[in-house]
Structure 1
């Protein structure tokens, strides 16, 4: 660059007069410079005073910025500058020129003003662009000198001329002489501008503080911030993000993005939730000073947050982020699309915004708590009025839908066994997109030890399961949750005091912990009351059923204090009863109609450990086919048309007692299959219900059919027959226990004499004989009804006649006429059978001759002819 320098003109040494004039000029300029306080003053000094003494076109002052080793325009001669019309003028005004290039380095090394011809240096490598711009507008020479402060260069004076050789020694000496004063003047101008700037900032902050002091709402904050930041003129606007209640995400709270009118972007911003630890927001929250970051560079660094893409699309290049912090608590972040950072001003603004934001959040929290408390009070009123599950469900569904904008996924209660958890309430409409899966999973029985149920029951205030995270972990329920489109599953324990009674599961994007806690407390109490009420109603219903049942039994059962009969056949029955009474073994009582099967069943029950409980009787033959299942196992309300209330079945009613299934052979095959499951599993489900009910019953069955033949015919299940035929007790027909006819007759006479008001004190011997000679196809029941009828027809205190039906033994007669037998053999067997029935009496009332309608002598003759002796009819 040495060849570019212009040496001072070689002239004669200055005369004393010239020196005096120079001294005078310097003195006057020095006085003028000391009065400089603003840029315009310095411009006036150069434009008017110095131009009167020397020729040049214009001058500028540049300042050094040590941060990035550049120098920038500070003072511009807008009136004298010929380059103002140049197309690159604005670029030159805003440019930053490097100190690390030959041209400016030569200036820095020169102790005195140094001049250059532009044509010699403007095209040199790294030469600053302003040299060519000036040359293109007619400037030919430049004089440069350093401005010093505390022994270090602080800037430069640039003096331009369109005439080469304009800068004389005298001019150079003057510039050299006033350089220190110019340096001081520039320093004063800078200080003065800083003071003015600080005063403006203080005034700005005072005005902003005054405006924001009255802020109480989000809208008021938005207006105040817009007005204040509008004075800073951020080209792209601002965004204030607030930390959400979860303390892990942030969302836009107040914003003004003047560069975008895209409604989709604005909607996305309003509903967005950005993770705090995204690599950018957490850096800002951890920084005590504002951070300036480049949008494109942050994207290249791998920050994937959607807001960077939004900003890039809106043309944001550099954005400032400042944390909003009150005391030791971060409340959010202020983002500004602004290129220049004024740290003190931004910190002052953010301090005011932080205070206002903290106040607004406190007011919002108070208002929210008041609203939540009012809501919980209203909900409490609704819940306390609920007396049934349906009323509670209506109250819960209404509050979840209208207030929390969600639906009930599942409410489970712990069963009476303390282990299983049963579905109590849920909203099927929540899982409309996965009905099949929901029905399957909701019907699944779980216990309190199930993974998720155990976690929730062990928690203090419940748990939140993120749907996406649960999907990754393999949670089987998460696939179902995903179908709703909601992000989180909230699950809380339902407790009354310290006792867990169930769990509640709610799907939502976010819910208030206070509201949830309050709702669960109210729901817990309501469910406990409803369950207790249901138990009371069930007990009441059971007592009513038992009462009706007892009344029915009083009307129907034999009023025996004990079973009548002591013959050999009945002794066998008594022995079997004594063997099985103390056990829980299933008993099958076999016998013809009227043999007293129910009486035997009741006797077994009354001598068993279950005697303190009511024995429940079911007449299977009397049950309509379409009501058998309901009668045996019960039904839920709404299980079928006409099921207006829950019904407790006979097996549930007989829990811890004995169930007597009379006429078991009459059950349809479908009912037999369900009965078999109940007997084997000792559990049942009411019709229309999903709850499995454990039962402990002792089963006694009775039938007048031959079940083996029924099994062969396909009318009775073989597996049920084997399950029932554990301990069979066959009852003898009355015709095979003729020795018990007399005591039975006296018992019935006494009973019906008392019931009818007749005074029958004696039974004629012939009556007993007649009764013994009858075959009794209806067994004991037929005898009872026959005695009752005979008493009503009696005319005095002695029962002299009984009205035995004629031809009642036709079936027995038919049995004698078997194929391949001679008439004589048939006649002989028939006479022997008749003699047996008449206890060997040959003639007279109630005798064999009377029964055969032949004279006694004729019967004697026949007996002699057929070889019938006493041994034949007294052998048994």
Structure 2
């Protein structure tokens, strides 16, 4: 019995050979571990050295992050990991696993390596996901041990095998023996990485400093900042905002080109917006001496309403870092970074370099700005000195205020001859649009020199600055109007020419240079004095200019796309062709029956072209006497023929750099056609009786209701001219092919003639609409227009109850040419079907087929039944 016990004891106690082997392995591994300096060294130790003694699939090392009680992957053996190709591998590598779950707590409480069968633990509550992922790739057991530094757990070793009971006691003993050395090796690796990171930071700052030192302009700074910041790990974007001259807001100065999205209106608006300094975020950054890390979601929940914060949330930013940019005690702006972690020392070094560069650039910009202001005043003085009219002065003032000073002219008021009243002289009619104030209202508002604000300005030497916010506190009615502009200040200055006070000028802006402001006001005063002296001499010329401008505006008002009514398929094709050809200089041939609106299309093409600022010249070829066609088109010199008492400018010259509309081109005589062809080909002409060749740049639009191809075959129209004109044909559909447009046209003309005649037509009866839809319209839209005008005049009760449609026209008779070579029954059947289609399937009642055919409804029903006419034939 004792012998058996002795044998059992021998089995439990390792042999000397085993102990010696284990000692050798530990000694060899200890030597290898002592040489570990980098992650790759430790990976090699596990994947090759330890694997040469014991079998396992792969191993990883995780580190504990005490602040959030998690552990994360630190060292990974991608080469031997069976889960490397798993679709969740990336998720596992980036994950933070909780320390507060049973599986890892068991590892922490063990005094050495502890193993688990994955099948037993992977599906338990709170078990980490990497257990299931490894099991799916064939791993069956995991051996884990805690790495400790000064008795404090700092991480774990994970060793995996695809065999159950795959970890021998000898292997466990070896791992337990080398665990302290592994913990030291991991600590050394971390320290080495920290040292390397510090060296990289120093190198980064040195490179960044070198790049910044070469910066001279804002563009240079943008390039240097983008080059430097792009090296920061996990950076999702950045923006630098500069404090504006008002000291109360910040605007975008430089941004990461990688986050630019010019297709997003919200992003574009953020790049141009002014953000209040005291918005709850930016003020905190500017008051802090260290970078601040903000949780976007938390700041939104705190009630911060800044548009940029909500945009960050929209695009998925979780955290943002804000760093104050300052030079000495002067705040310059803020650097915002989309980054998860803060390296305070590195960011402070970056921002110091950026701040120095910004301060230098801003100082240079200020010097340049002063020089530009002086040059600007000199140029403005030269421009103003040449002005002779109020219109020229207005153009010059709006140009200089809008382009150079980013300001708005509220009003210039001049003292009248009575020395008391101050009527309006000049005013930006776009300034108070939000307040609903028009120029006429402002012009009719005449004040006196005793008005409090005006008196204060006239009494000042260099003008007065009114802060709108401060004026609102006093309840000023003017301040309420000023507030609608969205600008912060009103600059009011007296206008003086020598010792004479002319009036006052009122400007709106956020900020204006006093030097520039006084300079332009002095120049404006001189210009106004000169203009007043010349106004009587220029009165007649001014009247002609006003009438010309008025005519242009009337033409733009009368002829525009809003007059073209129709949304049907046929008109949509016309609109498509117009949109293609309108911006070009190509010749257009508008084809269509009489009354389809060819001139309207021509005007619309001109108004949508680059030549729209000049008048379109129209020539009705059918209305020109044969002996005057050449003179009308090309002009004549004095004495060219009997009755030519003065030189006459032809329509081609008049339309130079504009559009010439040749209406009814098919009516032009053959002799005139040949001369027209030459001008079109050569783009030059000679007046009758003249010898000088005149170059012209004219865009041609021709129109006709004739079939020009048939006219060419008949010898009445030149083929070469037809080909020159038929560059881009636009065919206008007849009204009978635009059934869906008839009702909108009816309402359009009813509204038009109701206003013109003073008749208030509130409604058009359905009977009228049906009758008009069933009519064939040989005269097209023009016929419909005249028919509605007549009906409106005859209407007495505000409702259009009746229209007076001709029973049959010549066109209707011509349209029945299809009866030839057909039987009487076929003709009768086909005609009834066509009438039913025109009446939209309505058989009886007003506008029905029976009324159009002048037969009783029952008779028509019987006839249809006899002829076998089905609903499908006429009601498609």
TM-score (norm 1): 0.53
Instruction: Give 1:105's aligned residue.
Output: 105
Q: Are the aligned partners of 2:60 and 2:77 in contact in 1 as well (CA < 8 Å)?
A: yes
Give the counterpart of 1:447 among 450, 459, 471. 450
Q: Are the aligned partners of 2:411 and 2:506 in contact in 1 as well (CA < 8 Å)?
A: yes
Cα deviation, residue 298, structure 1: 3.3
Give the counterpart of 1:436 among 424, 440, 465. 440
Q: Are the aligned partners of 2:414 and 2:425 in contact in 1 as well (CA < 8 Å)?
A: no
SS at match of 2:44: helix
SS at match of 2:193: helix
1:171-320 matched pairs, under 5 angstroms:
171-232=171-232, 236-259=236-259, 260-262=261-263, 264-320=265-321
Report the CA distance shift for 1:397/1:301 in structure 2 as closer, same or farther (over 3 A): closer
Instruction: Give 1:353's aligned residue.
Output: 354
Give the counterpart of 1:462 among 464, 469, 475. 464
1:39 aligns with 2:39: yes
Q: Are the aligned partners of 2:491 and 2:508 in contact in 1 as well (CA < 8 Å)?
A: no
Instruction: Give 2:95's aligned residue.
Output: 95
Report the CA distance shift for 1:515/1:11 in structure 2 as closer, same or farther (over 3 A): farther
Report the CA distance shift for 1:178/1:428 in structure 2 as closer, same or farther (over 3 A): closer
Give, in whole Å, the separation in 1 of the partners of 2:108 and 2:21. 29
Q: Are the aligned partners of 2:489 and 2:508 in contact in 1 as well (CA < 8 Å)?
A: yes
Q: Are the aligned partners of 2:423 and 2:443 in contact in 1 as well (CA < 8 Å)?
A: no
Give, in whole Å, the separation in 2 of the partners of 1:390 and 1:58. 85
The size of the alignment, in residue pairs, is 528
1:479-518 matched pairs, under 5 angstroms:
480-481=481-482, 485=485, 487-494=487-494, 504-518=504-518
> Could you list the per-position Cα deviations for residues 637-690 of structure 1 after superposition, in whole angstroms to 9, with x for gaps in the alignment?
799999xxxxxxxxxxxxxxxxxxxxxxxxxxxxxxxxxxxxxxxxxxxxxxxx
Cα deviation, residue 187, structure 1: 1.0
Q: Are the aligned partners of 1:406 and 1:506 in contact in 2 as well (CA < 8 Å)?
A: no
Give, in whole Å, the separation in 2 of the partners of 1:422 and 1:64. 80
Instruction: Give 2:56's aligned residue.
Output: 56
Give, in whole Å, the separation in 1 of the partners of 2:503 and 2:249. 28
Cα deviation, residue 34, structure 1: 0.9
SS at match of 1:203: helix
Give, in whole Å, the separation in 2 of the partners of 1:639 and 1:373. 33
> Could you list the per-position Cα deviations for residues 359-404 of structure 1 after superposition, in whole angstroms to 9, with x for gaps in the alignment?
2111111111111122234556778999999999898677446633
Instruction: Give 2:168's aligned residue.
Output: 168
Q: Are the aligned partners of 1:60 and 1:74 in contact in 2 as well (CA < 8 Å)?
A: yes
Q: Are the aligned partners of 2:495 and 2:521 in contact in 1 as well (CA < 8 Å)?
A: yes
Give, in whole Å, the separation in 2 of the partners of 1:48 and 1:386. 90
Give, in whole Å, the separation in 1 of the partners of 2:492 and 2:256. 40
Give, in whole Å, the separation in 1 of the partners of 2:296 and 2:62. 31
Cα deviation, residue 250, structure 1: 1.4
Report the CA distance shift for 1:251/1:478 in structure 2 as closer, same or farther (over 3 A): same
Cα deviation, residue 15, structure 1: 3.1
Instruction: Give 1:117's aligned residue.
Output: 117
SS at match of 2:304: coil
Instruction: Give 2:365's aligned residue.
Output: 364
Cα deviation, residue 174, structure 1: 1.7
Q: Are the aligned partners of 2:494 and 2:505 in contact in 1 as well (CA < 8 Å)?
A: no
SS at match of 2:68: coil
Cα deviation, residue 430, structure 1: 6.0
Q: Are the aligned partners of 1:234 and 1:338 in contact in 2 as well (CA < 8 Å)?
A: yes
1:560-571 matched pairs, under 5 angstroms:
none
Give, in whole Å, the separation in 2 of the partners of 1:40 and 1:464. 70
Q: Are the aligned partners of 2:462 and 2:518 in contact in 1 as well (CA < 8 Å)?
A: no
Instruction: Give 2:838's aligned residue.
Output: none
Cα deviation, residue 410, structure 1: 3.5
Give, in whole Å, the separation in 1 of the partners of 2:316 and 2:363. 36
Report the CA distance shift for 1:193/1:503 in structure 2 as closer, same or farther (over 3 A): farther
SS at match of 1:85: coil
Cα deviation, residue 518, structure 1: 3.4
Report the CA distance shift for 1:470/1:505 in structure 2 as closer, same or farther (over 3 A): farther
Give, in whole Å, the separation in 2 of the partners of 1:456 and 1:317. 56
Report the CA distance shift for 1:11/1:124 in structure 2 as closer, same or farther (over 3 A): farther
SS at match of 1:375: helix
Instruction: Give 2:340's aligned residue.
Output: 339
SS at match of 2:106: helix
Instruction: Give 1:26's aligned residue.
Output: 26
1:498-577 matched pairs, under 5 angstroms:
504-519=504-519, 522=522
Q: Are the aligned partners of 2:142 and 2:161 in contact in 1 as well (CA < 8 Å)?
A: yes
Q: Are the aligned partners of 1:43 and 1:77 in contact in 2 as well (CA < 8 Å)?
A: yes
Report the CA distance shift for 1:203/1:428 in structure 2 as closer, same or farther (over 3 A): closer
Give, in whole Å, the separation in 2 of the partners of 1:390 and 1:130. 79
Cα deviation, residue 456, structure 1: 9.8
Give, in whole Å, the separation in 1 of the partners of 2:457 and 2:349. 48
Report the CA distance shift for 1:502/1:130 in structure 2 as closer, same or farther (over 3 A): farther
SS at match of 2:303: coil
Instruction: Give 1:760's aligned residue.
Output: none
Report the CA distance shift for 1:412/1:90 in structure 2 as closer, same or farther (over 3 A): same
| Alignment gaps of 5+ in structure 1 | 1-8, 538-635, 643-876
> Could you list the per-position Cα deviations for residues 550-598 of structure 1 after superposition, in whole angstroms to 9, with x for gaps in the alignment?
xxxxxxxxxxxxxxxxxxxxxxxxxxxxxxxxxxxxxxxxxxxxxxxxx
| Alignment gaps of 5+ in structure 2 | 1-8, 542-876
Cα deviation, residue 236, structure 1: 4.3
Give, in whole Å, the separation in 2 of the partners of 1:18 and 1:172. 14
1:743-762 matched pairs, under 5 angstroms:
none
Report the CA distance shift for 1:103/1:165 in structure 2 as closer, same or farther (over 3 A): same
- My pick for the range that moved more, 57-66 or 231-240, is 231-240
Cα deviation, residue 88, structure 1: 1.7
> Could you list the per-position Cα deviations for residues 410-466 of structure 1 after superposition, in whole angstroms to 9, with x for gaps in the alignment?
356899999x7856854365669512321233x122526x26864996899732444
Rg comparison, structure with higher value:
1
- My pick for the range that moved more, 330-339 or 66-75, is 330-339
Q: Are the aligned partners of 2:406 and 2:509 in contact in 1 as well (CA < 8 Å)?
A: no
Q: Are the aligned partners of 1:421 and 1:502 in contact in 2 as well (CA < 8 Å)?
A: no
Cα deviation, residue 502, structure 1: 9.3
Give, in whole Å, the separation in 2 of the partners of 1:453 and 1:119. 93
Q: Are the aligned partners of 2:321 and 2:336 in contact in 1 as well (CA < 8 Å)?
A: yes
Report the CA distance shift for 1:504/1:305 in structure 2 as closer, same or farther (over 3 A): farther
Q: Are the aligned partners of 1:383 and 1:522 in contact in 2 as well (CA < 8 Å)?
A: no
Q: Are the aligned partners of 1:284 and 1:321 in contact in 2 as well (CA < 8 Å)?
A: yes
